[in-house]
Amino acid sequence: DVKVTQSSRYLVKRTGEKVFLECVQDMDHENMFWYRQDPGLGLRLIYFSYDVKMKEKGDIPEGYSVSREKKERFSLILESASTNQTSMYLCASRDFGKETQYFGPGTRLLVL
């Protein structure tokens, strides 16, 4: 079974703090994704990575950056958290050439 884990289920941070969200997958997948999910808006792609050290902007990259130094780990960074970044963050991975994305359990981030 593919396993995608995220470092925290719940996180509370203050405005202006730097926030790291970590995602690890154990199936040697090339592709990894970061989404945020907000009521009424569905899942929106923030960044994705096709392979180690490769990253591409998604639909809403502003205020975020990512890092993929190792194949199994994809980190999402909020350089200076703001209240409008309060959301559910979901990581996913996918094997190259395959359709199915495997999602992590999500991190609920509250920025005060």
**Residues in the site for other proteins, rule: CB under 8 A?**
9, 40-45, 88, 90, 92, 99-106, 108
- CB-wise, 49 or 104, nearer to other proteins? 104
Instruction: Closer to other proteins by CB, 40 or 69: give it.
Output: 40
Give the residue from 73, 75, 68, 101 showing the smallest Cα distance to 2.
101
Task: Tell me the two tokens of residue 112.
Answer: 């005060």
Min dist. Cβ of residue 35 to other proteins (A): 8
Smallest separation (angstroms) from other proteins to the CB of 80: 25
What are φ and ψ of residue 84, in 5° steps?
-75, 0
Number of residues written out for the chain: 112
CB 12 within 8 A of CB 110: yes
Query: Closest distance between other proteins and the C-beta of residue 66, in Å?
Result: 17
